[in-house]
Amino acid sequence: MSSIDGGDIRKLVVACDAGMGSSVMLAAQLRRELRKMPVIVEHHAIASIPSDADVVLCQAGLADRVRAGAPRSVVVGFRMFLGDPAVARVVAAVKQGGVVVGTTGG
């Protein structure tokens, strides 16, 4: 399992399987929440996750595919697009410090 200190996160990617729906809204929400932090928030399809992504957020069921496509990134799976504790932990680690731990399994 991989991890990263919240203060070391410079690029956060929200990855999706195909669409441009809820994951785009989550990326926009995270951009607003982290606008004062030195973090770039982007949205990408799983097939095009940039190699410099520090953390990749994705639906839990997609985590194995994301890990295969972004092996150097910390992958955090979530279950809900709004109000998910895993997403809240990443935001808190960026803002207040702490470690982001990648999730295992899908």
What per-residue confidence (pLDDT) applies to 14? 97
Is 16 labeled as catalytic in the residue annotation? yes
One of 9, 15, 16, 27 is an active-site residue; which one? 16
What would the two tokens of residue 10 be?
């410079």
Residue found under tokens 């709004």 = 82
pLDDT per residue of the chain (106 residues) written in tens, 0 to 9: 599 999 999 999 999 986 658 899 999 999 999 999 999 999 999 999 999 999 999 999 999 999 999 999 999 999 998 899 999 999 999 999 999 999 875 5
**What gap in Å lies between CA 3 and CA 68, rounded to an integer?**
16
Q: Tell me, what's the pLDDT at 28?
A: 95
Strand partners, 99: 5
* Predicted local distance difference test score (pLDDT) of residue 19: 63
Q: Give me the CATH topology for the region 3-101.
A: Rossmann fold (3.40.50)
Phi/psi of residue 84, each to 5°? -80, 135
| C-beta atoms surrounding 52 within 10 Å | 11
Q: Quick one: pLDDT at residue 33?
A: 97
